[in-house]
Amino acid sequence: MISRLARWFGRGPQLSPEQQHRLDAWEALPQADLDVPFGETRCVVVDVETTGLNLMQDRLISIGAVAVVNGKIDFGDSFYVVLQQQAASEKKNILLHGISTSVQLEGALPADALLAFLDYLGKSPLVAFHVTFDETMIRRALREYLGLSFRHPWVDLAYVMPGLNPPLAKRYRALDDWIGHFGIRIDVRHNALADALATAQLFQVALAQAGKKDIADYAGLRDLEQAQRWISTVSRL
């Protein structure tokens, strides 16, 4: 409601009636039940590419997402979009993610791209590796272009995997460490959709391991994540 009032009084992005209708429809969707077993749920694994690593200054370039439905990757239920940039990112950044100058300049209008992401997401809970980065970049863009305060459940595999595999916790930190350990193939690194697919496969590994520990739902996985965050904090003291 606060963001909508801000738009009415000219302090937020001005959406077209059609865009506002789509946003209102998404906000009206019921929240996901996080206590439903993974065998009966849809989770969305997401990854982003950006102009850099500065959470406050760099911009969101692309979003890639893959759905894990009832514990299985649904290859037909995926999403990818490039947000139109006013100016393309630096050459070294383009060499990293491979999104060319022309593709960046001709991408989807940011508001439309983000509404398409919300339409795809629905209210399914999110999964990522190093959530802070992905969440911050998506939240900033949604606030800037849609005036939306995005509060959504996330699970961070960067904490879940060490929680499920304590002997590996000190050795494995990066996504590459974990996908390499479990033999997960990734043909193109630093592509949002390819990285989301690799992360989705790692999520499947986590689900199989979690089931052996009687963790059967998203809420239980979030509890494990929070416990591992506490362990990580204590170990640094």
Residue 1 has pLDDT above 60, yes or no: no
Residue 95 has pLDDT above 80, yes or no: no
Could you tell me the domains of the chain? 37-236 (3.30.420.10)
Who's near 154: CB < 8 A, 6+ residues apart? 125, 126, 127, 128, 131, 135
Would you place residue 92 in the very low, low, confident or very high pLDDT band (cuts 50, 70, 90)? confident
Task: Give 184-197 pLDDT, tens digit per residue.
Answer: 988 777 789 999 99
Q: Helix, strand, or coil here: 173?
A: coil
CB-CB contact of 66 with 77 (8 Å): yes
Nearest to 204, CA basis, from 70, 82, 102 = 70
Residue 176 has pLDDT above 60, yes or no: yes
Nearest to 143, CA basis, from 49, 44, 54, 56 = 56
% the chain with pLDDT above 70: 95
Which residues partner with 156 through β-bridges? 128
Q: In what order do the strands lie in the sheet with 154-156?
A: 72-82, 60-69, 42-50, 126-128, 154-156
Residue 11: its pLDDT value, please?
Answer: 62
